Amino acid sequence: MCAVGLDIGTCFLVSATQDESGQTQIKSIRDAFIDIEADASTINMLKMSNVSYVHDGNNIVVVGESALNLANLLKRESRRPMSQGVISPGERDAERMLAILLKNILPGPKVENENVFFSVPAKSVDREMDVIYHTAIIKKIIENFNYKVTPLNEAAALVYSNASKEGFTAMASSFGAGSVNTAIVYKTMIGMAFSLARSGDHIDASAARAVGSTATRMMAIKELGVNLLDPTEGDPKQIREREAIIMYYRNLIRYVIENIAKEFKKDNSKIELPESLPWILSGGTTKCKHFLEFFKQEFEKEKSSFPLKVSDIRMASDVLNDVAKGLLIAAMNE
Amino acid sequence: MILVIGNTPQKVELKDLGDYIYYKQQKIFTDAQYNRSQDLQREIQKGSLTILKRADDKSGSFDIPSVGYSSVSADKSPVMDFSKLDTLLERINSLEESINAKSTLSPEAHNDVIKSLIEKVTRLENGISVNNNDPNIAALHDAIKKLEEKIGQGADETVLKKLEDILNRAPVAASSTKQKEEMRPEDVYVPTVTVEDANTHIKLDIRTIGGGDDVNDSLKKLKELKSKS
């Protein structure tokens, strides 16, 4: 069955397809880029290396993970086509770069009207952002590649890939780089969905401000692996940084729990729900050590006033790829 | 006594009277207020306020027309400053709080609240008459509706009639939030992005995954669910 699930995240683009033997194949690339001067020696060097790049007119644009490495090397900031869950409003080349990356990550339709389901964030409750424009531009780009295109809420996609045993009824929160998306889904129907414009990037920036460092450095420390239950684990020289990161993780989790409670109280009359439901956590920001335990500790503090009965809190089976997998399931079901 | 109207999208501050006049808001000032307020006189001279009517203080009063007036200078600035409506909504919300606490208000204070409400309703009418498709209007509409419920029998019949009129005139506004939610990506202009000319050398991270709910198993269960419903 030919279909594609496409997770368009602030940090990564991830596609999921099924091969002929029914195995799920994941393709991903970091959606970052940096432009460099195009001279013959640079082009030769790039050709010989494993670096992903685009020769775009008179420019050379290094893309993906290599863009981050090169940015660190050149002491420059890498450019990103996405910001806080949507196409970056301040990046003039965002649409074109995203289109280039999407063309590469999509395999090309094998049948006429092949379905692509792509992830979109829900409307933000704490930041003005143009989800409609974001959805429209992505849809148009992918349609130009001759696919039949459908947007689906990012957190709802997690329910498709992680809650079949609960009849696709669950609450899911996707902690991406730019935003946290939460959805309450009842038998595949989205009862409530919203996003918060704070997540991994916010942790990096806040922790950097607290210790007088840079967000990029904090991200690097975070990605090396911070044990949320024990800041002393790791390089002793970076204990202050880890403590700051942990503090902002705690703030973020509280912020998410508080806002879910608030939004649910606003919307609960519209939502039909079972007595209790599982809560699925996912996204790159959950990759820190002991995120689940840390989250549960924070939730316990708020549990008595939380308006939903949560049967269990669990991590998605594959926090980086389950949105794309869920989108693939939805696309194959069409 | 003079009746003035706000002519600029920015609110006009009358510091010496401790007052503001918003775009298209009409307000009455006594001759005494006019004579002592340099700010009022200056803003009228500048054209940011226009005198609509003038009458002797002793000769009685004149009503503030709610809708359908026209002003040449106002028509020159058809762009509505919707931030004004946000401010108004905030003010109405605070008014609602005041009304909630009306049991603690004296009859005089309660009357003041009602008078203030009349003023705000007039501004709202102006806002609605400018663009009743703006989603802010829907929020304002809801706020008025709530107010109507709250003030109940405590309010002047005229106020209630005004509220009813506004609600009747704004059926589009009531559904405008819904319209915004239902706005489709197809309704938005987006540029065409072509990438055929880009010479790409991109290496993707490719892997085959397993674990969790198997895709095929989930798909099977999803189809079962859909067939039941």
Task: Give DSSP secondary structure letters for A19-69.
Answer: -TTS-EEEEEEE--EEEEE--HHHHHHHHHSS--EEEETTEEEEETHHHHH
Question: Do A100 and B203 count as a contact with CB atoms less than 8 A apart?
Answer: no
CA distance A24 to chain B (A): 6
Per-chain mean pLDDT for chain A: 90
Say yes or no to pLDDT of A149 above 90. yes
B18: how many CB neighbours lie within 10 A of its CB?
A: 7
Among chain B residues, the shortest Cα distance to A325 is held by B215
pLDDT tens digits, A165-209: 999 999 999 999 889 999 999 989 898 899 998 899 999 999 999
Look up residue A176 and give its amino acid.
G
The top-level CATH class assigned to A170-315 is: alpha beta
Say yes or no to pLDDT of B10 above 80. no
Among chain A residues, the shortest Cα distance to B220 is held by A333
End-to-end CA distance of chain A: 10
pLDDT tens digits, A114-132: 999 999 999 898 887 778 8
How does strand B49-54 pair with strand A310-315?
unpaired
Structural domain spans, chain B: 1-79, 81-183
CATH 3.30.420.40 spans which residues of chain A? 170-315
Phi-psi region of A75 (alpha: psi -120 to 50; beta: other; left: phi over 0): left
Of A57, A95, A325, the CB nearest to B215: A325
End-to-end CA distance of chain B: 69
B228 at interface of A, judged by CB pairs closer than 8 A: no
Chains A, B: CB contacts within 8 A come to 144
- What was the pLDDT predicted at B162? 59
Nearest to B152 by CA among B122, B117, B106: B117
Phi-psi region of A187 (alpha: psi -120 to 50; beta: other; left: phi over 0): left
CA distance B173 to chain A (A): 21
CA distance A198 to chain B (A): 23
pLDDT tens digits, B136-193: 556 666 666 666 666 655 555 665 565 555 555 443 333 344 444 456 777 667 778 8
Which tokens sit at B123? 């501004």
B227 at interface of A, judged by CB pairs closer than 8 A: no
Cβ contacts (< 8 Å) between B203 and chain A: which residues? 50, 52, 64
B72 at interface of A, judged by CB pairs closer than 8 A: no
The H-or-E segment that residue A113 falls in is none
Q: Cα separations (Å) of A314 from A12, A93, A264, B212, B218?
A: 23, 38, 20, 12, 18
Cβ contacts (< 8 Å) between B193 and chain A: which residues? 95-96, 99, 137, 140-141, 144
Confidence band of A232 (pLDDT split at 50, 70, 90): very high
Question: Do A136 and B197 count as a contact with CB atoms less than 8 A apart?
Answer: no
- What was the pLDDT predicted at A180? 95
Per-chain mean pLDDT for chain B: 65
Nearest to A233 by CA among A215, A251, A249, A221: A221
pTM greater than the 0.80 cutoff: no
pLDDT tens digits, B12-35: 889 888 888 875 567 888 888 898
Among chain A residues, the shortest Cα distance to B186 is held by A136
The Cα–Cα gap between A173 and A154 comes to 9
pLDDT tens digits, B29-64: 888 889 899 999 999 888 888 887 787 655 555 554
The Cα–Cα gap between B119 and A331 comes to 54
Confidence band of B80 (pLDDT split at 50, 70, 90): very low
B79 at interface of A, judged by CB pairs closer than 8 A: no
CB within 8 Å of chain A, chain B residues 190-219: 190-195, 197-213, 215-219
CA distance B142 to chain A (A): 15
Look up residue A216 and give its amino acid.
T
The H-or-E segment that residue B106 falls in is none
- What was the pLDDT predicted at A131? 87
CA distance B37 to chain A (A): 40
Among chain B residues, the shortest Cα distance to A96 is held by B193
CA distance A172 to chain B (A): 15
Interface test with B, best of A132, A134, A141 (most B CBs within 10 A): A132
Q: What is the ipTM of this complex?
A: 0.84
Of A50, A135, A161, the CB nearest to B203: A50
- What was the pLDDT predicted at B121? 61
